[in-house]
Structure 1
Amino acid sequence: MRTLNLNVNPNISPEQDPYMVSSKSPTAVAINAAAKTGQWIKSRLGNIKELDIKQSAQDLVTDVDKGAELMIRKLILTHFPDHAFLGEEGVEAASTEPMDALEDAEYLWIVDPVDGTTNFVQGFPYFCISIALAHHGELIIGVIYDPMRDEMFVAEKGRGAYMHGTPTAVSSEDTLADSVIAIGFNPERDFALPLNLKGMQALAPRTRSLRAMGSAAMHLAYVAAGRLSGYYEVGLNSWDIAAGVLLIQESGGKVTDTQGQAFHLGARHIVATNGHMHQELIQVIEEAGASGY
């Protein structure tokens, strides 16, 4: 088994230690995989050859999703052939068994090749590649790349989070009333969507505004960058959120499940915020009966 080198000095803060990524590090491999795949995905916008559905007519998959995942898998496993790999397109719809089996793997790559597939299909330019690496269930690398805006968000455990080398930081709003919160219209129509709609109805009069842009990973990256105050959704999967969770944590924010319990890779109902009004958001969700539990 190869030893990972994240170039982390625990005695030096990110402000003191200039952010540098070794060309042979897993972070560099993830960045390279995201960048190359992102440019290929961008070139295929408006040129989809296959369009299928997964668990519902609202849950789409294209030949681009499948090709992008294969590309990322090859780029990563060429460097780390002994690592486990969990990609969205390699999992049966609505199955949690792969995560149950892989959560404690020594090194596990968690990949969503196109987060925001419906947007991609529609030509709506809001989708991304999400790549995370976990070590015995603990997230240590998170990369989200938006090819349409050429924005690369990168986080390393203990090293902070960055967008093109500039540190990201969560916003400063203290209350829901001052906050812009992202929400999602989950494609699972029987369980997740009704709960999310209840949550939206409860949050709408309590917040400055709500946003629903169709990509969980991008929502999380925007919370990390201070562009959104928080994000709530029931019915997610690890590949939707793993990279974004680390981005937020390393940007000074907070991510828990909708009951306020510590995040883990099996969590599917999450609240992610700047940390200041986290409990207030959870309380609204719980009072609305929209936590998913």
Structure 2
Amino acid sequence: MRPMLNIAIRIIRNIGNIIIKNYEIQNINSDYNEYNINLFTKKINKNLNNMITKVIYNIYTKNITFLCKKKFFIFKYKKTIWIINPLDGVMNFFKKLPHFSISIAICIKGKTEISLVYDPLKNDLFTAIRGQNAQLNGYKLRCDKYFQKKNLLFALNTSYIFFTKKKNVNLINLFVENLISLRISGSISLDLAYLAANKIDCYLNNNVQNFNYLLAGELIIKESGGLITDFIGNCNYKNSTNILAGNADIIKLVISKIK
């Protein structure tokens, strides 16, 4: 797996170089509309497509299926699938808010075996290989087992559904009663990677529409010792539309309040 990880690192850093170059030169904030965003995105994607496909085709010389779905580059070779999200945090990028990331998940026989999340602005590279721990810039990550009910920081998805549905009243009470600080960062991959690095304590998303956004961060959390369930504690969360991530004690606390 290590040679494949090294190739993925080269790809993700090259993507980062292209993203940063365009981040520095783009100047559309004064006219922030869908047309300009789509035009600029097409320009970036063309450069990314040329670079990524060249590297991938050098690895797998034939029988490659290229699926360029909306927001993702997906390559399939036999039972190996590369899922690349070149920009997680699009609105942050276009608003010049310096918080976005790139993610790569390599799945073999339906399981994520290698994952990477890269913040090109901070040069933070999170990596994980199944069964071989998770790392940040070469240093081992361990999801903190220490737990206290004060000074907790929870990250939420970008949906305001938490505050509009009656079924989440208990969850909102949990936030208020324990003085939990909340963040909506706009980059799912970074939220999950930050949880593995103990920069946040819990991640909640009750409006999951595409699990491709979660694949890279999912493996990083698991390899750092963290847990992921749905809101009722079921580990088969991919059949749900919500996920809850954190250490065992925090997950127990949140689930008890939801129930």
Q: Which runs of 5+ in 2 are unaligned?
A: none
Unaligned runs of 5+ in 1: 1-5, 7-20, 92-97, 187-192, 288-293
Q: Is the 8 A contact 1:161 1:250 kept in 2?
A: yes
Note the 1:194-209 alignment, pairs <5 A. 194-195=161-162, 198=165, 199=168, 201-205=172-176, 206-209=178-181
AA of the residue aligned to 1:248:
I
Distance 1:211 1:136, change over 3 A: same
Tell me how far 1:231 sits from its aligned partner: 0.4
Partner of 1:214: 186
TM-score normalised by L of structure 2? 0.80
Identify the residue that residue 14 of structure 1 maps to in structure 2.
none
**Residue in structure 2 matching 1:31, options 4, 9, 16:** 9
Counterpart contact for 2:237–2:243, Cα < 8 Å: no
2:147 paired with 1:174: yes
Query: Which residue number corresponds to residue 128 of structure 2?
Result: 155
Partner of residue 41, structure 2: 62
Matched-pair contact (CA < 8 Å) for 1:182–1:232: yes
Contact 2:22 2:44 in 1 (8 A): no
Higher helix fraction: Structure 1 or Structure 2?
2
- The code of the aligned residue for 1:258 comes to F
Other-structure match for 1:189: none
DSSP 3-state at the match of 2:252: helix
Kindly provide the amino acid, as one letter, of the partner of residue 135 in structure 1: I
Change (3 A) 1:88 1:218: farther
Write the deviation string for residues 125-183 of structure 1: whole angstroms up to 9, x where unpaired.
10000100112221111100000000000000000001111101112342554521111
Aligned residues: 244
- Could you tell me which amino acid in structure 2 is paired with residue 218 of structure 1? L
Instruction: Provide the C-alpha distance between the structure 2 equivalents of 1:248 and 1:60, rounded to a whole number of angstroms.
Output: 35
Q: TM-score, normalised by structure 1?
A: 0.71
SS in 2 for 1:204: helix
Root-mean-square deviation over aligned CA pairs: 3.3
Identity over aligned pairs, percent: 27
Q: Structure 1 residues 179 and 46, CA, compared in 2 at 3 Å: closer, same or farther? A: same
CA distance in 2, matches of 1:124, 1:65: 18
The structure 2 residue matched to 1:272, chosen from 245, 249, 258, is: 245
Read off the aligned partner of 2:52 and give its amino acid letter.
Answer: I
Q: Could you tell me how far apart the structure 1 residues matched to 2:189 and 2:43 are?
A: 18
Question: Compared with structure 1, are the counterparts of its residues 260 and 37 closer, same or farther at alpha carbon in structure 2 (3 Å cutoff)?
Answer: same
**Which residue of the partner structure matches residue 227 of structure 1?**
199
Is 1:243 the counterpart of 2:216 in the alignment? Answer: yes
Residue 266 of structure 1: how far off its partner (Å)? 6.2
**Closer, same or farther: CA 37–171 of 1 in aligned 2, 3 Å:** same
Task: Determine the structure 2 residue equivalent to 1:146.
Answer: 119
8 Å contact from structure 1 (residues 88, 113) kept in 2 = no
Partner of 1:112: 85
